[in-house]
């Protein structure tokens, strides 16, 4: 593995390959149970504009985004997402919309 030096890092990453090597936390069931009802905002992915760069999955601090086996695209686990908005902030296509909690989720 070749580690990137900090001055080689792309300050405007669009894919995982643009990022430096970093430790990534793996998601698991929280000790306090499901925590999704703590949030005020709900991230909604617009799959029509998603380019599957997986940056949302990489940066979610809660490990609440997983990669679907069916099509390899990210999906948000609303049982644990806390609505922090990090995924929407890092999305290069701005295709994650933060909606007020209380809306009906499809599916
Ligand atoms: S809003 Fe925060 S916790 Fe929820 S999926 Fe996005 S980054 Fe993860
Ligand atoms: S939702 Fe945005 S950040 Fe996530 S994979 Fe799609 S384009 Fe990338």
17 has pLDDT over 90: no
Which ligand 2 atom is the nearest neighbour of the CA of 96? 1
Tell how far the Cα of 27 is from the centroid of ligand 2, in angstroms: 18
Report the DSSP beta bridge partners of residue 97: 44
- Contact indicator for 51, 103 with CB cutoff of 8 Å: no
Measured CA angle at 30 (ends 27, 32), to 5 deg: 165
Ligand 1 within 6 A of CB of 42 = no
Question: Could you tell me the pTM of the whole model?
Answer: 0.74
* pLDDT grade for 91, boundaries at 50, 70 and 90: very high
Ligand 2 within 6 A of CB of 45 = yes
- Contact indicator for 28, 85 with CB cutoff of 8 Å: no
């Amino acid at each position: 593995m070749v580690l990137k030096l900090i001055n080689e890092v792309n300050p405007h990453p669009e894919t995982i390959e643009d990022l430096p090597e970093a430790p990534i936390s793996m998601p698991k069931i929280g000790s306090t149970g499901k925590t999704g009802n703590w949030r005020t905002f709900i991230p909604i992915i617009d799959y029509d504009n998603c380019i599957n760069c997986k940056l949302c999955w990489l940066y979610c601090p809660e490990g609440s985004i997983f990669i679907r086996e069916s099509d390899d695209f990210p999906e948000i686990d609303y049982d644990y997402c806390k609505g922090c908005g990090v995924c929407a902030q890092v999305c290069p296509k701005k295709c994650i919309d933060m909606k007020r909690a209380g809306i009906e989720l499809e599916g």
